[in-house]
Amino acid sequence: MPKGIEIIIQITVALLGAYVTALWFSLVVWTFRDIQKRTRDVIVQVLATLLVLLFNLPGLLLYSVLRPPETLAEAYARSLEEESLIQDIEERQACPNCKHRVEPDFIICPSCKTVLKNVCSNCSRLLYLGWNACPYCGKDKEQSGN
């Protein structure tokens, strides 16, 4: 075999080897970064990285099958959304008599006409039935006539 063809083959093999090594290294780094976004468990992070480090593309295939379906950021966003929905449900006010939904500024229930709040005679602000004085102007409930 001529010397020029040998050199071309050696260069091609060296470039191909460098490419495969760079691909393998980048897969390991990608796996490590991806698993860090998906779990805080250090053992799982190490095992996932070792899986790709030792088995290369088949290891990456196994990792992609076994990895957690959502990132920590996605799980956090989902939990915030769930918490917000629960808070919205808890904040909805209902009539103590008929359980129909009432707005915070209703004085009586529009369904059963149950008195929900009183009006302060001094400042005209709404007062909850259990309050003994107006928290806005300080007037006693008995003085306001409600």
pLDDT digits 0-9 by tens, 115-146: 999 999 899 899 988 888 999 998 987 654 44
Predicted local distance difference test score (pLDDT) of residue 144: 43
What phi and psi, each to the nearest 5 degrees, are found at residue 101?
Answer: -70, 135
**Could you tell me the sign of the dihedral formed by the alpha carbons of 37, 40, 45, 48, in that order?**
negative
Determine contact, residues 116/129, Cβ cutoff 8 Å. yes
Q: What is the pLDDT of residues 44-86, one digit of tens each?
A: 999 999 999 999 999 999 999 999 999 999 999 999 999 988 8
CA 40 from centroid of its chain's CA atoms: 16
Instruction: Please tell me whether the overall predicted TM-score, pTM, comes out greater than 0.85 for this model.
Output: no
| Closest by Cα among 69, 55, 66 to 27 | 55
Strands (E), the chain: 93-94, 101-102, 117-119, 126-128
Strand partners, 140: 133
